[in-house]
Amino acid sequence: MTHSPLRNSSPEDNSNRHMLFPLPETTLTTTSECVPFHLQLTKPLWIQDSEWHTATVSRNGGTWQMIDTKWVVVGDCKFTPPEVEIVPQTTASDPEWFALWLRCTSPPIYLPKGQIIAQAIPSLPERECPEGNCKTCHPQVNSAFLITKDRPEELCKLKVGEETKHIKGLLDTGADVTIIPEHLWPSHWPLQTVVEQVEGVGGLQLAKRSKSVVQIEGSKGQLASVRPFVLNYKAPLWGRDIMAQWGVTIGFLDPQNFQAAVTETRPTQRLNWKTDSPVWVEQWPLSKEKLKVLNELVEEQLQKGHIVESTSPWNSPVFVIQKADKTRWRLLQDLRRINDVIEDMGALQPGMPSPTMLPKDWNLAVIDIKDCFFQIPLHPDDAPRFAFSVPNINREAPRKRYHWKAIIYHYTDDVLVCAPNDDLLTHALDLTVNALIAAGFELQEQKVQKMSPWKYLGLEIGKRTIVPQKLAIKTKIETLADVHQLCGALNWVRPWLGLSTEDLASLFNLLKGREGLSSPRSLTPEARKALEKVQHLMSTRQASQCDPDLLFRFVILGDLPHLHGMIFQWDKRVTTIPQKDRGGRDPLLIIEWVFLSHQRSKRMTRPQELMADLIRKARIRIRELAGCDFEYIHVPI
């Protein structure tokens, strides 16, 4: 027999208590001292299914003794997670007979200790109300519907004459007519005022309507011709006037078809090619040792299903290099000629996220994905273009040829997980690992970093600070290519170490000239001094992780014309602590440094112009980092 979670037991029905409830968790308490009373967990709760669960009041009920009448217990829209459902119910003041029913609609979910999951609202007993209007004299409990964000939208093409405009709007089956907001309507498309009033769009509005008939084409080519209303409204609404012409119907998916739709795998993206003419780059010979390693690595990838035998007319060279531990090898392919004939698709992620936005004192874990290079699938039509050959000594056997089924063209093989406490971190880490394994990635368990300092993408992240990992500064400069490599490494660490343009000017000057990368270069005395300063700053400076409770500031530093700036936070709370008791804490949290270009516009000469350019760059950067603006901007007088 299945019992409804809405059914409640009573002290008189003691014999059936265990039939009505699953084994409850005594995890509820309340610490509130005013209405409504928040019900919170006394220990973490992990729900791994969508079944109903119960929770009862713990022995230490907190302020539960303050509940002396019947109360209504419902979810709290501010604190209850959206994927957790709470059964509305009433309870007596005696907590022994109260059990809260809850379930997760999208399992699994982890609810940490202290999570507020419901609220108790007093419900006065039925009585004659002296004020005469019970709806206003004491709290009432009413039903409500949750309107989610997952509403059907359609991108449509509007056409008047030969002109077109694309607008994305909401398919609103409750709207009689189509509404276009004034700010989206082309100003030169004529309108006329009509006598009708449109209701239900933020009150009554005097209507304006298109003078011309507008052809509206949906995303699947369906056509409708209407004269839409143009109003002062926030979002476009595709009404029943065009849906009727499109033949739109409302119904429910067949359950079998629905299951197939939601479990369908995401299609592999296909590359766009500039040419279909095969590109063949001959494989260069390899030493006996490297050839042996190459055959072993190719056999390994063949067993894993990452490559297949091929007769493709395309070919690119392959080679092997030793990994840092000198015991393992890495298989690489020279795809430069292939890249030349692939249309540029733009950066999937232009740049990496800044670790300074990790909240300080949060717990971290870093997962290393093994052989991430081979995990991203290629479209079957593209795979033969990534073919390669495995050479042999003295042509003693037919040359074997393969092409990739999986190859990477954008990846990060380190995954960083950050959470405010160990419980949440463990849960998030488990979910991340399970998702990666389910997607077919192979993880290196011995390389999961859980202790400070964490090494991530060339940086060493502590509990509060960030410094670059040990960076080898190449002081033996012989060619322009060496200078490019050196300046590239220094540019990478500049935002965290504050290496100003003035500090690096003598090194940047070595880049001048139009010679080839092999042209000779040597360090000048000024450049050597600059490198010495760089090495000193690398050992003494560091960036900080942000404090979510503090706002961001920006200060302009340096002497004209060599200005630079610093994005920072200032923690006044630390300044109230005696120096000896701060435990290494600093009120100044340096987030990032901002610099002017080494080659500035000759038209920009006045101090105000230089400062304005620096502030502009800093404001763009803080919006990229934190999505906000500065609380203060400090400028020199």
- Residue 242 CA to residue 248 CA, distance in Å, equals 9
Q: Which token pair is 244? A: 């009727």
C-beta separation of 109 from 48 below 8 A? no
Residue burial 416-434, b: 16+ Cβ < 10 Å; e: rest: bbbbeeebbbbbbbeebbe
Q: What is the pLDDT of residue 443?
A: 78
Count Cα neighbours of 381 within 13 Å in the Cβ-side half-sphere: 8
> What's 346-384 look like in SS3?
CCCCCCCCCHHHCCCCCEEEEEEEECHHHCCECCCCCHH
Residue 412 maps to a domain: yes
Bridge partners for 389 per DSSP: 401
Q: What is the pLDDT of residue 470?
A: 65
- Residue 124 CA to residue 118 CA, distance in Å, equals 19
Closest by alpha carbon to 269, among 332, 334, 342?
342
Judge if 536 and 394 occupy the same domain: no
Q: Which token pair is 570? A: 């200032």
Residues 6+ apart with CB under 8 A from 35: 121, 122, 139
Residue where a domain terminates, one of 543, 567, 585: 543
Helix (H) or strand (E) holding 159: strand 153-160
Q: Which token pair is 359? A: 């909240």
Q: What is the CATH number of the domain that holds 200?
A: 2.40.70.10
Bridge partners for 208 per DSSP: 193, 230
Residue 277 maps to a domain: no
Q: Report strand pairing: 465-468 vs 459-461.
A: antiparallel
Q: Which token pair is 542? A: 């560091």
Using 70 as the pLDDT threshold, list the residues of the chain that sit under it: 1-26, 33, 61, 67-70, 92-94, 123-151, 195-206, 249-267, 345-352, 371-376, 394-395, 406-413, 470-472, 514, 598-605
Question: Got the DSSP string for 605-626?
Answer: -SHHHHHHHHHHHHHHHHHHHH
Judge if 309 and 378 occupy the same domain: yes
Q: Which token pair is 173? A: 């089956």
Judge if 530 and 445 occupy the same domain: no
How does DSSP classify residue 24? Answer: -
- Residue 406 CA to residue 379 CA, distance in Å, equals 9
Q: What is the pLDDT of residue 346?
A: 60
Closest by alpha carbon to 504, among 525, 518, 490, 516?
490
Residue 458 maps to a domain: no
* Segment 142-185, tens digit of pLDDT: 444 344 556 678 899 999 888 999 999 988 877 888 999 988 99
Q: Is 274 exposed, middle or buried (0-12, 13-18, 19+ CB in 10 A)?
A: exposed
Judge if 299 and 434 occupy the same domain: yes
Closest by alpha carbon to 383, among 404, 400, 402?
404
Judge if 570 and 634 occupy the same domain: yes
Instruction: Quote the Cα angle for 551-555-560, to 5°.
Output: 170
Residue 276 maps to a domain: no
- Residue 386 CA to residue 312 CA, distance in Å, equals 9
Residue 486 has phi, psi (to 5 degrees) of -65, -50
Bridge partners for 402 per DSSP: 309, 388
The structural domain count of the chain equals 5
- Residue 64 CA to residue 71 CA, distance in Å, equals 11
Judge if 538 and 550 occupy the same domain: no
- Residue 521 CA to residue 529 CA, distance in Å, equals 17
**Terminal alpha carbon distance of the chain:** 81
Q: Which token pair is 601? A: 């516009």
Q: What is the pLDDT of residue 136?
A: 45
Judge if 133 and 200 occupy the same domain: no
C-beta separation of 167 from 180 below 8 A? yes
CA diameter of the chain: 106
Find the Cα–Cα–Cα–Cα dihedral 64, 65, 69, 70, rounded to 10°.
30
Residue 5 maps to a domain: no
Helix (H) or strand (E) holding 489: helix 480-497
Residues 6+ apart with CB under 8 A from 24: 54, 55, 56, 99
E strands within 182-251? 191-198, 205-210, 214-217, 223-226, 229-231, 237-238
Q: Is 203 exposed, middle or buried (0-12, 13-18, 19+ CB in 10 A)?
A: exposed
What separation in angstroms does the CA of 271 have from each of 130, 338, 372? 75, 11, 20
Q: What is the CATH number of the domain that holds 22?
A: 2.70.40.10
- Residue 88 CA to residue 424 CA, distance in Å, equals 28
Judge if 16 and 122 occupy the same domain: yes
Q: What is the CATH number of the domain that holds 493?
A: 3.30.70.270
What separation in angstroms does the CA of 183 have from each of 165, 234, 415? 13, 9, 42
The dihedral region occupied by 458, where left means phi > 0, alpha psi between -120 and 50, and beta the remainder, is left
Bridge partners for 193 per DSSP: 208
Residue 561 maps to a domain: yes
Q: What is the pLDDT of residue 500?
A: 81
Q: Is 100 exposed, middle or buried (0-12, 13-18, 19+ CB in 10 A)?
A: buried
Residue where a domain terminates, one of 543, 560, 594: 543
Residue where a domain terminates, one of 109, 137, 165: 137
Residue 261 maps to a domain: no
Judge if 324 and 393 occupy the same domain: yes
Order of strands, edge to edge, in the sheet holding 363-370? 414-419, 363-370, 442-443
Q: What is the CATH number of the domain that holds 354?
A: 3.10.10.10
pTM for this model (two decimals): 0.48
* Segment 247-301, tens digit of pLDDT: 776 654 444 443 333 334 456 778 889 998 999 999 888 888 899 999 999 888 8
For CA atoms 554, 558, 559, 562, the dihedral sign is negative
The 3-state DSSP class for residue 526 equals helix
Residue 267 maps to a domain: no
Judge if 87 and 164 occupy the same domain: no
- Domain carrying residue 522: 464-543
- Residue 547 CA to residue 551 CA, distance in Å, equals 8
Judge if 410 and 353 occupy the same domain: yes
Q: What is the pLDDT of residue 633?
A: 93
Judge if 535 and 554 occupy the same domain: no
